[in-house]
Amino acid sequence: MEEIAKKKVLSCIQPSGMLTLGNYIGALKNWLNMQEEFDCTYAVADLHAITVRQEPAKLRQQIYSTAALLLALGIDPEKSNIFIQSHVPAHSQLSWILSCYTQFGELSRMTQFKEKSAKHTDNVNAGLFSYPVLMASDILLYKPDLVPVGADQKQHLEIARDIATRFNHTYGDVFTIPDAYIPKVGARVMSLQDPTKKMSKSDENINAWVAILDSKDDIIRKFKRAVTDSEARVCIGENKAGINNLIGIYSAVTGKTAEQITAEFEGRGYGDFKLAVGEAVAEELRPIRERYETFIADKKQLEDIYRMGDEKAAYIANKTLSKVMKKVGFVL
């Protein structure tokens, strides 16, 4: 019987510091869930990380640590391809070409650029500005059908689709137009200290975010301190950003609906609820934490895995790049 080709999935993550519960619920959980059904390619996006200043030794460590974390999560290199973005030069090469097909105006409208340039006023570099073009290249080289990301990356996905559509319109069917795959629950996990802001590892208040590798005690302590409201009823509501966020997190890790969660905590205080969320999150992350120690301790194995991934990725990426180069009129 003829085998039906699996749909393709591509996504990347920056190796910038500790990965958070936001990364996990918004993206990584889906990366794992998709690996049985889809042909998945996942990369550590180190080129993206240097749009803000990084300490070289620390960055190197974080790249290893991010690769180890993907393995600890359960991404199986026999099923999914894991590689390091900078090891596949086609990403930078395609990025230059596509930057000539992307308008200054469209890049100026990117929310993340506006936010990051306001935050790092002393280093508003060209890389920060053209970041979405590199991200479009990461995606388009592999012709994926789906790109699992959190809600904050939706705008970047849209510009990738626009660039691809424009290129195809001029040169014929070169790129697949990918769809974003954003989770229904937990697409935007918010800060535990200011639930109107996205949970982010760059938040200076360490109580605002939970790292995937935090200890059980730290996780529970952070949830106990989470900012809520004075109504004391566990239900979704306006002006209840803190509780809405905790319900979203609890729902994402337990699979319970918001209604079931409200029923479960009817007549009980926020203290009980926060403890339950902390315990559920700590339990969900426990196996990842344990497996991580094994993967990070074996650098040789890590290197073998990403080298194999780099090679497979380069093979696919170079095919797309050659096609693009031919289309624009370069001599091969």
Task: Say whether 143 is catalytic.
Answer: no
d(CA 86, CA 72): 22
Catalytic residue among 143, 154, 201, 216: 201
Task: Say whether 198 is catalytic.
Answer: yes
Q: How far is the CB of 95 from ligand TYM (least distance, A)?
A: 11
Cβ atoms of residues 39 and 8 within 8 Å:
yes
Binding pattern for the stretch 74-103 against ligand TYM, x by CB under 6 A and - elsewhere: ------------------------------
Catalytic residue among 8, 29, 198, 274: 198
Task: Point out which span in 19-27, 214-222, 248-256, 305-313 binds ligand TYM (CB under 6 A).
Answer: 19-27
Catalytic residue among 8, 58, 79, 116: 116
User: Using CB under 6 A, which of 120, 188, 224, 233 touches ligand TYM?
Assistant: 188
* Residue 281 binds to ligand TYM (criterion: CB under 6 A): no
CA 198 to chain centroid, in Å, comes to 13
User: Using CB under 6 A, which of 9, 12, 40, 252 touches ligand TYM?
Assistant: 12
Q: How many CA atoms lie within 13 A of 233 on its CB side?
A: 9
Please list, in sequence order, all residues whose beta carbon lies within 8 angstroms of the beta carbon of residue 191, skipping any fewer than 6 positions away.
Answer: 197, 198, 199, 200, 203, 205, 208, 209
CA angle 28, 159, 316 (to 5 degrees): 60
d(CA 308, CA 211): 28
Query: Which residue's structure tokens are 């795959």?
Result: 181
Residue of 145, 16, 13 whose CA lies nearest to 70: 13
* Residue 11 binds to ligand TYM (criterion: CB under 6 A): yes
Which of the residues 114 through 173 are near ligand TYM (CB under 6 A)? 135, 138-139, 147, 149-150, 152-153, 156
* Residue 67 binds to ligand TYM (criterion: CB under 6 A): no
In the complex with ligand TYM, the residue whose CB is nearer, 134 or 265, is 134
- 278: its two tokens: 């902390």
Cα of first residue to Cα of last residue in the chain, in angstroms, is 39
User: Using CB under 6 A, which of 32, 34, 40, 45 touches ligand TYM?
Assistant: 45
In the complex with ligand TYM, the residue whose CB is nearer, 95 or 265, is 95
Cβ atoms of residues 144 and 137 within 8 Å:
no
d(CA 278, CA 130): 38
Task: Say whether 184 is catalytic.
Answer: no
* Residue 278 binds to ligand TYM (criterion: CB under 6 A): no
- 76: its two tokens: 């199986």
Q: Which residue is nearest to ligand TYM (CB)?
A: 26
Catalytic site residues? 116, 198, 201
User: What does the binding site for ligand TYM look like in residue numbers (CB under 6 A)?
Assistant: 11-14, 22-23, 26-27, 45, 48, 135, 138-139, 147, 149-150, 152-153, 156, 187-189, 198-199
